[in-house]
Structures are given as C-alpha cells and as structure tokens.
A = this chain, B = another copy of it.
Amino acid sequence: MSASIKEVALRAGVSIATVSRVLNDKGPVAVETRQRILEAIEKLRYVPHGAARSLITNQTDTIGVLLPDLYGEFFSEVIRGIDQAARRDGFHVLVSGFHSDRAEIAAVLRALRGRVDGLIVLSPDVDAQTLRRNLPETLPVVLLNTRVDGQLDGAAFDAINLDNRGGAFAMVRHLAGLGHRRIALIEGPEENADARERRRGYRDALRAEGVERSPALELAGDFSEEAGYRAGRRLLALAPRPTAVFAANDSMAIGCLFALREAGVQVPGDVALAGFDDIPIARYITPPLSSVHVPIAELGTRAMERLLHAVESKNEHERRQETVPTTLMVRGSCGGAATDH
C-alpha cells in the first residue's frame, strides 16, 4: 500500500491535522510548514485515500450509472456524455449493467450504498418500488429515458426523457408535407414506452394534417431489422400501396428497405422511407435514410447536470421532468431534400 497521511506528517515533522489542512486548503498554515509538507507529499508520492475520506465527509465524488444488460452504441454515447459532465466537476462514474432479473437489480442497487453520491438509471423499465425500496431515501436519482412502472410515483424522481412523440410528429408531418396521404407506420414493441410515444406522434401528425388514420397501415414490429423486413413484405401486399413508410426505428427502416428493394420498388421513387434514431449507418446506406436524430450524448450530459444539482441541494431540490428535443434529418430516402453527404 502506498503512504498514508501519517507518514507524511512524520516526515514533515507535523501532526496529521496540519497535513490534512494543506491537503484541503482549510485553516491557516505557515508558509514554510506548507512547503515542507508539500515536499513530503511529493517524495512519498502520497495520495489521499478516497474511501477513508468518503467515510467521514459522507461523499464519494462518484455517481453510479445503471444500464440495461444489452447496450450498444446508444449507451456508449450516453456514458460518454455523462463522463464528460462528471469529469468537469471532478466526479467519477461507476457503471453497472444488470440482468432484468429483479433480484439482481436489488443486489446491484444495494451494493451501491456508500459508493456513490447519486444515481442515473437508464433502463427501459424499472419499477419505482424496486428502486425506492433498495435505495436510501436521500440518494438523488435521475431517470434517463426510463419509465417507472408506478406512474403515480413519477414525480418522486428527476427524469430526462427524449421527445419521442415530437420527433415522430415532425417526421410524419414532413412526409405529409411532401404530399403523402397513405403513410404507413412500422411500430416498435408494444411494451416499449419509446415505441408507444412514437406511435402517438405518428397519429397526432396525421390528425394535424387532416389525414385519416387507417389501422391497416399500422404494422407490428419489434425494433429488429427482421421485423422491418417482414413489415415491408406486408406493405407490398397492401391493396392501395402506401406511398410513404415511417419506421419507429432505423433498424426496421433498413429491414423494410431490403424488402422493398427485393421487390424492385424504388426508394424514394415509389415509396418514401424514414426511420428514427439516426444511427450512424443511416447516412451510409443507399439511399441515405431520413431519420430523427437523437442527441444521445446530450441526454447523458443533461442527466448528469441534473444529478449534480440534486447532490448539491442534498436532494431537497424540486423534482423536474425534462424533455430533450430531437432533430429532423432529411436525407435521400424520403425524397424530400437535396441529398446530403
């Protein structure tokens, strides 16, 4: 183990209290004493022991991030945003994935006590019960794109959510603006809140544009490319074929694109196509896929800022639900723009 404050004190010929004082710049210390201590620290390569400090100050300068088990680029970006904001304020980031298994969530949550000053929960769905029950009440928590089961409890936590509805609304409206009247939707999984919100945006946009909604045009899906492909096939079989397709995420849009291409249907010539998420691939496929851009890293940053605020106010602050807006990325696939790239 490396040197402790005692050894520094010994070497500098002072008490540990004085060493602590120069460490934290608290209380007066004679300039030459400080000098001597600084030298001792240097020589011994002394670094204060985080855990010991935490024990007494009751803060760890660390925040925890809870992730669902399967995480891809989305989460990578979020963490990046979080980490940046955290480092700026001298905080560390402890990440932990977990299986959906409720017992494991509990275990993970509990293991966090005394290790973190706050928590960002990033998981499709957790129930408020589990959360509340396994966490000290005073622990600030920010939910990031996460819906708690017990909706009534929603107000108990800060939350950052993506404007799924708004994004979908804008995209569908854009399609309608191009003259499309038969606009199909490929849905996400029913139990997924993002998916439901996107559908809501789709429906609201149709209504806003005075386009009549047809259940036949709302096709089931599950966010997978495969599902997009199947939906594409079904679309092709529809009597008056839709002239535009809005998929609830890019993967399904790509699957659908395959199905259309396979059948010799031109995109955007015969059918306009758009997705959601703006995954990196979107730009690269042919034609480039129109999509709703999600500022992922910003979600993380915002969550972190919110959390830091909560930590500072000792969790006595007012809870707030924020919504982060999306951006419409119009590319070749919906035929509505000059090609980019």
Contact = CB atoms under 8 A, between A and B. Distances in A.
A162 B137 CA distance: 45
Given A50-B115, A53-B114, A73-B73, 6 more contacts: A1-B136, A45-B133, A50-B114, A76-B76, A87-B98, A280-B281
A113 to B, nearest CB: 4
Give the interface size bracket for A toward B: 35 or more
Contacts of A284: 254, 281, 284-285
B113 A92 contact: no
B73 A92 contact: no
Q: How many copies of this chain?
A: 2
Given A76-B76, A138-B1, A281-B281, A49 B94 contact: no
A80 interface: yes
Interface string A34-65: 00000000000101111111110010101000
A49 B112 CA distance: 9
A194 interface: no
21 contacts: A47-B113, A48-B114, A50-B111, A50-B113, A51-B54, A51-B55, A51-B114, A55-B55, A72-B73, A73-B76, A76-B76, A92-B94, A92-B96, A92-B111, A93-B94, A94-B94, A94-B95, A280-B281, A281-B281, A281-B284, A284-B284
